[in-house]
Structure 1
Amino acid sequence: MDDSKLTVRAVERALDILLCFTDETDLGLTEIAARVELHKSTVHRLLASLEGKGFVQRDEATEKYRLGLRILELYANMSHADDPAVLLLPEMEALRDRLDETVSLYVRDGDERVRIQAVQSNQAIRRVAPVGARMPLYVGASSKILLAFADVAAQAAILDAPGWPEHIAKGDFLEQLAEIKRLGYATSVAERELGAAAVAAPILARTGRLAAVLAVSGPSSRMTPEVMKQQAPVIMEAAARMGKLMKP
């Protein structure tokens, strides 16, 4: 293998290590090595390079690694003008204050959805929604919106993917998606998490492009089917306002 290929492979491995921190704050060497499926000595060398550049930092007391300040420096220099997570935050906060439940923003990434922003409810018993969390596209109100407003080819690719659960009939699911698109919103109760419920609506840019999904979630004891039906028009109105803020 020539030097250029070795360099590219090292970069890919270093990026894989950084991606380990998308759902964890602190990780030890053994944990990271297991996640990226590399020998600990290789991971240790890569971590030393990342630490030297400030992308990770090591806690001497726990011997665990976390993201370094250089990540924040990169983020600070991103253009936020078109970032839905920043642009739509005031509307999300207003919706949280009106409904007093947790508000989340999702986008599709391949065969998963990713929460890119969240505003937590102020209630003592509430749904905690960590930013960066990834979820499958076959369960949950937000997943159904992402698929309902996707094109036919994208729907087929997801439904025909190897990870599609056998217990979910594709024909029935497609009928459900068609009804969701007609209504303009989706609901879910305990589909992904016991005791949780959610209502979601599409955020459509002025051209009709699906830009993101707006979701309100909370305990199913509060968010009953009747309550969610009442919330749906409010959420759709908020999503429509957000869509007008997005680039075409």
Structure 2
Amino acid sequence: MKDIINSIDRALDILMLLYYEQNELGVTEISKAIDISKSTVHRTLATLENKGFVQQNPSNGKYWLGIKLYALGTLAGEKMFFKNAIKPYIKELSKKFNEVVNVSILDNSNEGLPKTILILREEPKNKRFKLNPRIGSSSVVYNSAVGKCLLAFSPNTKELLEPYRGSKLNMYTKNTIRSVDELLEHLKVVKREGYSIDDEEAEIGLTCIAAPIMDTRNQDAIAAISLSGLTSKMNDIGLEKIIEEVKETADRISSILS
């Protein structure tokens, strides 16, 4: 057998255990399953959590695979089923309006407010005005349609934002949400309506509409799809029409993934 670094070997054992169990596990459960001490499991999990490879559920103290694993897999796996399955739908939506369509996920693995990670995009080739965030890039969560959508349909929104209640947020435009308290109230509306809008909150002159791609239980968002464009053109087309199409596309994708 080749030389093995025991600490790395243990960390990978834990990640694979979570993968095969397909469920959150506590320190004691992991310790029994892979036959190492609880103190060693705890230290290993703390290291993995610090790097975003696992995440702890604050409501029960158990652990699950972290968003960084998904981000890495997304960048490495160009033939991933998720991406291949949804690409025709975002291509169709982009073509219908001749606008940029993005798919993003929530990243709450780091300190501070969560961010979004862009995992897939479709942009018309003849588009003069280009929006060029790269695949895998992260963005502020509270001033984007996808960010607000992902937060609204997250299973632990309050836990993610509670430490920052009373905090002021950086203003990107005059329309940017000003505080976490205001954001929490806004997210109630997003969840009720089933979509979110970036009303020139990140950049004046740009509007974005997003809707959630739901998990198999239709309870939580695993990603969000958005359509972005110049505010003037979006208004000319009609926001209600765009909202309807974005929501319908998100629902169709959710149904094929369930």
Q: Give distance in 1, aligned partners of 2:168 and 2:149.
A: 17
Give yes or no for contact 1:211–1:246 (8 Å, CA) kept in 2: no
After superposition, give the CA deviation of every residue in 1:114-159 in whole Å (9 maximum; x if it has no partner).
01000013322243342112012111111110111113x4333235
Unpaired stretches in structure 2, ≥5 consecutive residues = 9-71, 109-113, 172-177
TM-score between the two structures when normalised by the length of structure 1: 0.62
After superposition, give the CA deviation of every residue in 1:77-102 in whole Å (9 maximum; x if it has no partner).
x8723xx3332111110111111110
Q: Give distance in 2, aligned partners of 1:164 and 1:138.
A: 12
Q: CA deviation at 1:105?
A: 0.1
Q: Which residue of 1 aligns with 2:138?
A: 134
Secondary structure of residue in 2 paired with 1:224: helix
Q: CA deviation at 1:193?
A: 2.5
Q: Which residue of 2 aligns with 1:231?
A: 242
Secondary structure of residue in 1 paired with 2:252: helix
1:244 has 2:255 as partner: yes
Q: Determine which of 201, 205, 209 is the counterpart of 2:211.
A: 201
Q: How many residues align?
A: 177
Q: Give distance in 1, aligned partners of 2:228 and 2:107.
A: 21
Secondary structure of residue in 2 paired with 1:139: coil
After superposition, give the CA deviation of every residue in 1:159-217 in whole Å (9 maximum; x if it has no partner).
52498627723333222111111111111122123322100001113311312100000
The structure with more radius of gyration: 1
Unpaired stretches in structure 1, ≥5 consecutive residues = 9-70
Q: CA deviation at 1:223?
A: 1.9
Structure 1: 4+ residue segments shifted above 6 A:
none
Give yes or no for contact 1:120–1:128 (8 Å, CA) kept in 2: no
Farther-moved stretch of structure 1 (217-226 vs 234-243):
217-226
Give yes or no for contact 2:168–2:179 (8 Å, CA) kept in 1: no
Give yes or no for contact 1:197–1:219 (8 Å, CA) kept in 2: yes
For residues 1-248 of structure 1, what are the structure 2 equivalents within 5 Å? 75=76, 80-81=80-81, 84-110=82-108, 111-121=114-124, 122-151=126-155, 153-161=156-164, 165=169, 168-208=178-218, 209-224=220-235, 227-247=238-258
Q: Give distance in 2, aligned partners of 1:106 and 1:173.
A: 19
Q: Give distance in 1, aligned partners of 2:153 and 2:236.
A: 23
